[in-house]
Each structure stands twice: as structure tokens, then as C-alpha cells.
Amino acid sequence: MQTRAIDRPPARPVDQPVGPPVARQIDIGIDGMTCAACAARIEKALAKLPGVGAANVNLATETARVSGDSGLSETAIADAIVRTGYGVRQPQVRTPSTDPATSADTITVDREIALLIGGAILTLPLLLPMLTPLLPATVADALTVPLWLQVGLATVLQIGLGALFYRGAWKALRSFSSNMDVLVALGTSAAYGLSLYLALPALSGDAQHAAHLHLYFESAAVILVLVRLGKWLERRAKKRALSALDALKALRPETARVRRQGQEADVPLALLRIGDIVIVRPADRLPADGKVVAGQSAVDQSLLTGESLPVDVAPGDRVIGGALNGNGLLEIEVSALGAQSMLDRIQQMIADAQGAKAPIQKLVDRISARFVPAVLVIAFLALIGWLMAGAGIEIAILNAVAVLVIACPCALGLATPTAIMVGTGTGAKAGILIRDAIALETAQHVDRVAFDKTGTLTDGKPQVTRLVTADGVSEAEALRLAAGLQRGSSHPLAEAVLHLAAERAIAPADAASDEALPGRGIAASIDQRRYLLGNGRLMQEHGLDVATLSGAAGATRSYLATLDPQPRLLAALDFADGLRPSARPAMADLQQLGLTSLLLTGDNARAAEGIAGDLEITEWRADLLPGDKIAAIEAERKAGRHIAMVGDGINDAPALAAADLGIAMANGTDAAVATAGIVLMRSDLRLVPAAIDLARATGRKIKQNLLWAFLFNALGIPLAAFGLLNPMIAGLAMALSSVFVVSNALSLRRWLATMRVNYAHDR
């Protein structure tokens, strides 16, 4: 097996947003949206504001994200939303669990339930006339509802339940647009108005007219009840879709027990400071990220990382705020608070992903913006068509009402964002953080996965397994020089050298004028002589033949050389780095998903071949600088492959950015995590195939939802226009269509149970 020669084209530039540079980003909650047309109208209004580069309104999360230049004003954004006819609020995803908005939401829900129950009770008498033909005459007479009562009940319902739709319709029409409220308001008003027109002669005393009276008050009332019921069920389902965020917000305790100046006291979490020592008692939640300074325990951080088993911690170990302490007493030094804490960063990543808009949603938005006007035209044509056919005004209006009622674009607007909300929330519970909708959509199309080696496929804790010296050089002297060159470095190979020197009680040499050589090694001066420590490439650059010192098969090798008085090879060090236990199962899972794997490493060919052979990876490339990894990924993309890159180090960040999809290990460097589209919250490589599997499952749900929404309207509107759909049935179908879309998205949560079965044995 040989490495393949790689051209080095320039790195793929990062796409820049169109419009003003993004210097500021503002998230704001919106009240009063009812369908995709509402979201499209707000987006259009926000996009016209000065300095706005992009505006994204998410119907499912009921939030707007606006980005643009530094002059972007939250007040201006809020004013634009209000002028469009909607309310503004701070989005719930940004507020702590103690936010008073929670109680306000409860009041709103209770009020809506009361309205629904009251509306259903008042609607029942209006339905009785439909039953009387089926009952004995004496029973039918007893159940007859006086006409004046029917009119009164229908009027109360039209004003009480219909007020929401009238307000929404007025706001839309005032801004020369249309939405679901327009359809419902027009449809129910037409049925109510027609019935009132027919009932007026009878109310004025025309007994003959009253005997042959057929009214449609029940149609308008039932439509109002069903549509509001559907919206309530939809909101309830959307709240369940946001359960991942709710669960995370509940992890943060309100107070922390702090020791200051020898005294312990409970203080509000907002008063904690970096460096404080917090006391965490058994069964308490950790209030902040930090380092254990005293005590031993096992902490459960499953809601943060998806790890199913508690993790043992002792002095020196890092812990995450929000984790649940076990039976031991811990003293923790606080190292991160607020937005810098892991809990806040996870919440922010989930909120960003759930608020983002998938590329496919742009097509849906364009369709939704034209949908309501098209429905109004179809309803008008149905009305005229039935009148021309001689069906009479009653039949014509009822069929037009059915068209208006069934054509609500709610299902279309919710199809994509609800699936994204549930998919990203479910992934977070499994330890997979998906940064945005683009990463989610890209992951669906990945057909090859490239892996870094050290710290990704391996556990990142190499040990020196062999030290070979040149003639006249002792092992002790070689180790003293190597340790001196590596002193102060946090690289895993450096730590292995320093650990061996400490074991042998060898003091590192004093090195000066250190010079890092990225992807190759390090140079420094010791005792007025220049030394090098690095890979074979660095030695070759200085004309040194590394073949004079043989190495172990499958090992990573570093060479020690001096440049004074002339270049000379002094020693070679072999390092062995164990595979992660999850590496082999992960490769098998990727193969089962139909994906191929590729190893890209800066290590030497011998080490790369050994790891690739152990994992049955058929293609590998070694001795790669960061630019070489980019070139390798570009070559894969030019060959028509959709490639994901998995890495953890600073040197992996460019490759993560160049790949179609970057996947970073959360224990990796900040640069790698910041660049990746997906972050794995624990060092379990089986989360790589799991993330791709989840993305595919989410993609299927999006397609199912969109297919349902399009078919529902494509079939329902013609049926209603041709008189084959009763307005009440149309109202029920419309309400249930949105509920179906959200419920179908919620079924993604079953993927988590499947994942726990399929991926549990490696934890």
C-alpha cells in the first residue's frame, strides 16, 4: 500500500455572505405568526432595513435572526416587526429557566384551553339540527334549538373564537399581503354571513320562510373550533420539539455553595467568580465548569454529552457545570462562567441549529409567499363557476369556503423547521451537536469520511516504545536533549518524551531560541549548538539520511539531530499510540451505511500503514502538512465525492473547513471545534456514523413532511372546489395536516432509542 501523490491547489475559500459584512447578529422572538406567509412577510420587511445583510424568520421557533453591520439596531428590528403587524419578545431559547415568561406562557395556554372548551360547548347546540332528521319526531322536537339562540351562539363564537383570525387578517391586509388568517376569516365569515342573511326573514316573523330554512352556522363554528384546536396541538407539539433546550436549561442550579476566606455560604449563581471554590454535595448539580481540587466522586453528565455511564473524577480532573454529582463530596475551582461555560455553549449551538433555515426551505418560502393569493383566486373561480353552473348562491359560497379553509399553508411552513428542531435536539441528547441546518443537510449526502490519526482514531496518549541512538551517543544524553527541546510543549509526543525522562530521572537540557516548525517538528539551541527534533521530512530538508536508524513497524518516529558543527543524526524515538476502543466498531458502522473511509495524517507512512491496516482502511496518506490535507480533500471533492473530515487538533482546522462537512471531537482544540459543522461531545467515534445516520433520518422526515404538505393541498383544493368536501371536514383536515407534520417530525425521537441499542456496547 503506497501513499498517492497529491497536487496542492489553493485552499477552497470560505463562502462570504452577500450584503454588508456581518458585524452584529440579533435574535428576537415574534408573537402572532400563524403560517409560512407570515414568516415570509416579516423577512421581507426586515431585509429592507439599512445595514441588514440577512434576515431569517423561523416559524417553528417563532424567532427572527438578523445579521448585518455594526449599526444594526434591535429597536429598529422590533419596530419593523411591529409595523408589519406582529408582536416582539425575547426568544425563550435565550432566557434562563427561571424566566418569568414561563408563567406567562402557562397563562396563555390555560386561556386557550378555556376558549376551546367553551367554544366546543357553545357549538354543540348548533350541531343538533343536523341530528334531528335521524331521531324520532318527539325527540327531534325536544332538541329543536330556537332560531334566535342559534344566531346568538353563532355570533358569540364568530366574535370570540374568530377575533384572533380577524386581527391577523387585518394586519396582513393592512400591509398588502395575505396569510392563513385571511383564509379562515374569509371562509368562516362567508358561512356565518350567508346563514345570517338567510335567517333574517325568519327572525322578522316570516313563518313560511322559517319552515324551509337551512343554515350553516355550525360550519363556521366547527371550523373555528377545529382550527384553533389544531393550532393549540401544533404549539404543544412544537414545545415538545424544543424539549432538548428545556432539559438543558433545567440543569443549572440557582445557587452555589462557595468557600471564600474560609467561610462557606450559598450564593446566587450570578455572583460566582472565576477562581471561586465551590462545594458540591452528593446528589447536587455542579454549578459551573471547573477543576476538581479535592474529593472523589462519579458524575452523571448524560444530558450534556450523551454518555450513559457516570464518569469517575478525582483531583485534577475537569468537570462540566450541570452534571449531577454522585455520592462523593467535591471541591471545584471555577474556570468558566456564563457564555464561556460548556452548558451555555451547548445551548447556544442547539438554539442556532434549531433557528437556522435549511437550503430547501428557501424553495418552500417562495411557494408559500404566492400560495395564499393563488388560493383566493381559486376560491373566487369556484364561486363563479358554481354560480354559472346554476347551483345557487348557497352551494357556491359553501364550496368557496371549503377551498379557503382547507388551503392553509401551515403544514408547508412547518415541514422543514420542525424536523430540524427535533433532529438537532435528539442529536444533542445523544452527544451530537449539529451547528446549523446546512451541516445537517450536507451530512445527508456524505459518501466518504476522512480521519485524522493522533487524538482522533487513537487515544492521543502515545508512549516512547523505543529509543535508537547513533554511534557515540548514549540514551541518557539523547533523552536529555530531546526532553529539553520538548519542555514547555503540550503536544502528546512531547509529553511522552518528558514522561520517559522523568521516569529515568533525567533532567531536561536548558533550551533557548525555540522555533516551532509546523507539521515537521521543533528547533532550539542547547549549549550554543543548534538541535532539531521532528519527522523524516524535517531531517530530509537538512540533508540527513534517516535510513541509517531503523524503526519499529507501525510506529510513529521522531528524529533528533544536531546542525553544529555539521548536520548529524543523533537518535530516533518510536512512539506507539493505542487505538480508541470505538475505532473498529465505528469503521464497521460506516461501512454498513455505505460510506468509505480515508486516513489523512501528518505522521510517517509506517505509522499510517499500521493504523490503516488495523482498521481495514484501504486508503491512507501520510507525512501531510495542514495544506496537504486541504489538497487531499480538494482532490476528493473534485472527484465528485462528498467528504466529511473528522479531527481534533489545530492542524486539522483548515481541513475541517475545506471538507463538505467538518466533524470535531469536543475534547479537541477550540480551533477545530469552532470550524466544524458537527461537534461530538465525547470521544466515541461511533458518534460519527450516528451523526450521519441521524442527518439522513432527519432528511427523510423533511421530505416526508413536504410531500405530505404538497399532496394535501394538491388533492384537497380541487376536491373542495368541485364540491366534494364539506367545509367542516375541510377545517378538520386542515387542522390535522399541521398536527401530522409536527407529529411526524417528533417521531425522530425514536431514533435515539435505536441509537442507544445500536451504539451502546462501545460505551
**Pairwise CA distance, residues 424 & 358, whole Å:** 12
Amino acid occupying residue 254: E
Active-site residue set:
452
**Block residue for cell numbers 427535533:** 422
Instruction: Using the structure block, give the residue that is written with the C-alpha cell 474529593.
Output: 295
The string over 301-325, giving b where at least 16 C-beta atoms fall within 10 Å of a residue's C-beta and e elsewhere, is bbbbbbbeebbebeeeeebbbbbbb
CA pair distance 681, 44, nearest whole angstrom: 37
Q: Which of 371, 436, 444, 432 is nearest to 702 (CA)?
A: 444
Using the structure block, give the residue that is written with the C-alpha cell 501513499: 3
Grid coordinates in use for 26?
440579533
Pairing of strands 596-600, 448-451: parallel
What count of Cα atoms within 13 Å lies in the side-chain half-sphere of residue 463? 6
Are 634 and 626 a contacting pair, CB within 8 Å? Answer: no
State the angle between helix axes of 217-241 and 410-430 in degrees (0 to 180), rounded to the nearest 10.
20
d(CA 294, CA 753): 37
The rounded distance, in Å, linking the Cα atoms of 225 and 577 is 66
Angle 499-505-511 from CA coordinates, rounded to 5°:
70
Distances (CA, A) of 66 to 13, 96, 106, 440: 24, 22, 28, 21
- b/e map of 129-157 (b: 16 or more CB within 10 Å)? beebeeeeeeeeeeeebebeebbebbeeb
Report whether 532 contacts 561 (CB < 8 A): yes
Q: Report which of 699, 708, 697 is spatially closest to residue 741, judged by C-alpha positions.
A: 708
**Measured between alpha carbons, how far is 437 from 364 in angstroms, rounded to an integer?**
15
Distance between CA atoms of residues 217 and 157, nearest Å: 10
State how beta strands 277-280 and 289-294 pair: unpaired
Cβ atoms of 355 and 27 within 8 Å: the answer is yes
Copy the grid coordinates of residue 274: 472565576
Q: Where are the beta strands (DSSP E) in 340-430?
A: none
Closest CA to 416 of 30, 112, 36, 155: 36
Bridge-based pairing state of the strands 512-517 and 643-647:
unpaired
Task: Count Cβ atoms within 10 A of the Cβ of residue 499 and give its class: 0-12 exposed, 13-18 middle, 19 or more buried.
Answer: middle
* DSSP SS3 for 307: coil
Separation of alpha carbons 561 and 597, rounded Å? 36
Neighbours of 592 (CB within 10 A): 11
Grid cell 432527519 is found at: 698
Q: What is the DSSP-derived secondary structure letter of residue 19?
A: S
Tell me how long the chain is.
763
The CA distances from residue 424 to 59, 238, 416, 417, in Å, are 16, 13, 12, 10
